[in-house]
A and B are shown apart, each in its own frame.
Chain A
């Protein structure tokens, strides 16, 4: 071990009595379009950080490229605004080295389910203890209106003006199909209480928590979630003590489904069921192996390494 990042928490001690306010997490002024769903996700995340009292210097947001990937700039934590589709490998490298950091990954639908789809599948399988948010507006926002894998069939864009040719990809059933995936949830940015409760459940889950957040893009894909926004009966809340329960929402959203998130088969049925837009935790299993735990090794000091290296060189000695 050449550098003991373990020293950092000791050198930068958190005082027992210090408490963080929401304003402690505010970064640059958000530059998304007015009415963009990303604003409300940012607000929910700031609220979560304050509620969970995460020290800003030990919290990291890793993103790719897209409107949604601007997220880290608007927070005052550490941020890694990387390259399109590749947030997850970077987050994997950070977490492998620094299990002490709280890591949130923010991706758009193009970022996660198209160019970064390979990494997405494998990250679900690695099951590192991180929160992965898919900000799904069903369109490429930053590059101005191209079809994404989650664009509903028939929805027009600049690249498929007669409507998307193919049925859209279902991120929930895809994620639930991956071996060792340990947490899959869906929420919507226009139901802030649910968004917050879901993010909190995700953050508290040990393992990779994949949260698909339905996100409105009023500029390019306003039609995508229009019906679900306007008609609460299109929504069904999944409730369970091991998932999320937000009783006050049940006044507006009358479809309440008891769903045990330990039941993978039931989770897959919910994911494939298009009768309603389901919000809640579809699946959670904290006992699945986590890659950073499996790969954690005892660090060795320079002297220990030198001794071991001499022994290794002996094997090649002439």
Chain B
């Protein structure tokens, strides 16, 4: 029945901080099949693997606007405040960010590097 038009992945996204990997099928600001939603950064996007709805996407990561590292959107690796910043860059320039964000970081209290949950391959 259901036609299996799987969008073939463009490549594999890999976070340069935590090594998370995910196959992405789109890169840019306007994910296909969702005209009403636009992204505010150039993002690596995959189809949301947790829902059968084909139109749903999931942003997995993008480049840090300061250092250009590829980082995932996980709160241990980056944050978005009108642009994407990797946490190392945020830490280095913490006073450039509003207090709310600083407090958030405090609360998090997790060192930004998550050493090697994935060691090899």
User: Do A and B actually bind?
Assistant: no
Residue numbers of B with Cβ under 8 A of A are: none
